[in-house]
Amino acid sequence: MRLTRPRAVPLLDPADIDLADPQLYAAGDPHAVWLALREEHPVVRQPLRDGRCFWSATRYHDVNEVLRDHTRFTSERGTLLSTLGVDDPAGGKMMAASDPPVHTALREPLSRAMSARAMRRWEPRIRRMVRRLLAPLADGAPWDLAAAAASFPMAFTGTLMGLPEADWPRLTRLTTMAVAPTDEEFREGRGTLVAAHHELFEYFADHLHATRSAADDSLVGFLREMAAGDRRLRQDELVYNCYSLLLGANVTTPHAVAGTVLAFIEEPAQYARLIADPHLVPRAIEEGLRWSSPANHFMRYTTMEVELSGVRIAPGQAVVAWLGSANRDRRAFADPFAFDVARSPNRHVAFGFGPHYCVGAPLARIALRILFEETVQNVAAFEHAGPVEHLASDFVAGVKRLPVSAQLRPGAARRLSAAGTPRAEGVS
């Protein structure tokens, strides 16, 4: 999705806007559309041609309200626009598609297992993975950063989940098919979404079967053994939650990386600030998350009549909280269309808000910190080396292709090529 900086509030008729159209995100200007909606129609009903409809909330405060209050806005019927109108079969079984108390029973043990403290032991391994990822920069040739970043989450989530490395490329592709089924590059036959879900569910069912009697200290093993309240998870619950962890990591993290580097290319002075003061890296990551907002939206259904920004919504309606829009709301962020690596405060909602706040956020933050620490240490500046291409997805603000050339810092070519040698690649 293009990360634009509209200069003025465009005049738009909500009847002409289709926020569910994946092409808007591949070739259009969603930030201009969201800006117009925030200012003129912060809560608006969008009917689709096939008779379904949903409400859009675009202001920061409303987005927080929708995500925060599960008693008025349930997750159990589905949380993505792609499932609009069909109750999610994973409702009440998968953490992301459940409400308390089921959600709490699943979330509490898992969030302890995925806390920043628990994740710290993975740091050396993630650093080796990052060095291997950046190694191709050593020869100075143009490099597709988006394609490389696409494989990054499997390197840490695949490792954490104990999934064989040979499966990582197919799993990466399947998760993108699940969020961008109409994108030409990811379309496989007519039923891409269903086919991707089917293959992923079958993959995890097989994996769980194959590892059932092995000692398994991976996250999958943890899910299998963990007590959700007073019981263990059933097979279907295990499959859904494995799928959700993989999807959560794979479809978001690469685009946080690509969106942040794209901002560095557009604003070289901001990247130069990082080189001058690498202590700014953690803040730059938060700004990169706000800026890229890899998850465009999450959806809820109303359980009762609700009011948002003065608009009444009947019970049983789908309400879409546009995170990408909330993260550019002038009511919450000073100069929201400026990319500022030292922004503070920065209460972005890229990881959501409330009970479903991203359980993978500690891991994602560690992985991004290591990646940008290594980048700042080795790269003096990035430049475009070809056209940028965006993913056709109403859910993921994705960059498919980002050809870059990098100007290296002194000693970087040696460091990077050493990291790419087979000996250094021994990452286990």
Query: Which stretches of the chain bind ligand HEM, using CB under 6 A?
Result: 67, 75, 79, 95-96, 107, 157, 244-245, 248-249, 252-253, 256, 294-295, 298, 323, 350-352, 356, 358-360, 363-364
Q: How far is the CB of 79 from ligand HEM (least distance, A)?
A: 5
Q: Would you say 17 or 97 has its CB closer to ligand HEM?
A: 97
Q: How far is the CB of 315 from ligand HEM (least distance, A)?
A: 20
Helix (H, G, I), strand (E, B) or coil at 293: coil
Q: How far is the CB of 43 from ligand HEM (least distance, A)?
A: 18
Rounded to whole angstroms, the Cα distance separating 399 from 145 reads 10
Which residue, judged by CB position, is nearest to ligand HEM in the bound state?
360
Token pair, residue 107, equals: 């979330």
Token pair, residue 424, equals: 């250094």
Q: Would you say 248 or 416 has its CB closer to ligand HEM?
A: 248
DSSP states of 67-102: HH-TTTEESTT-SSGGGTTS--TTTTTSGGG--TTH
Q: Would you say 42 or 78 has its CB closer to ligand HEM?
A: 78
Rounded to whole angstroms, the Cα distance separating 389 from 209 reads 39
- Angle formed at CA 206 by CA 204 and CA 211, multiple of 5 degrees: 95
Greatest Cα pair distance, the chain, in angstroms, is: 63
- End-to-end Cα distance, the chain: 35
Q: How far is the CB of 390 from ligand HEM (least distance, A)?
A: 17
Counting every residue written for the chain, the total comes to: 428
Q: Would you say 42 or 352 has its CB closer to ligand HEM?
A: 352
Q: How far is the CB of 256 from ligand HEM (least distance, A)?
A: 4
Q: Would you say 44 or 249 has its CB closer to ligand HEM?
A: 249
Q: Would you say 22 or 352 has its CB closer to ligand HEM?
A: 352
Q: Would you say 114 or 137 has its CB closer to ligand HEM?
A: 114
Rounded to whole angstroms, the Cα distance separating 46 from 33 reads 13
Token pair, residue 51, equals: 């008779």
Q: How far is the CB of 189 from ligand HEM (least distance, A)?
A: 28
Q: How far is the CB of 5 from ligand HEM (least distance, A)?
A: 21
Q: How far is the CB of 73 from ligand HEM (least distance, A)?
A: 10
Beta bridge partners of 53: 47
Token pair, residue 294, equals: 């890899």
Q: Would you say 36 or 257 has its CB closer to ligand HEM?
A: 257
Beta bridge partners of 89: none
Q: How far is the CB of 141 from ligand HEM (least distance, A)?
A: 28
Q: Would you say 67 or 306 has its CB closer to ligand HEM?
A: 67
| 15 C-beta neighbours (distance < 10 Å), count | 9
Token pair, residue 103, equals: 């959600």
For 4, phi then psi, to 5°, come to -95, 170
What is the DSSP code (8-state) at residue 231? B
Residue with tokens 């194959």: 210
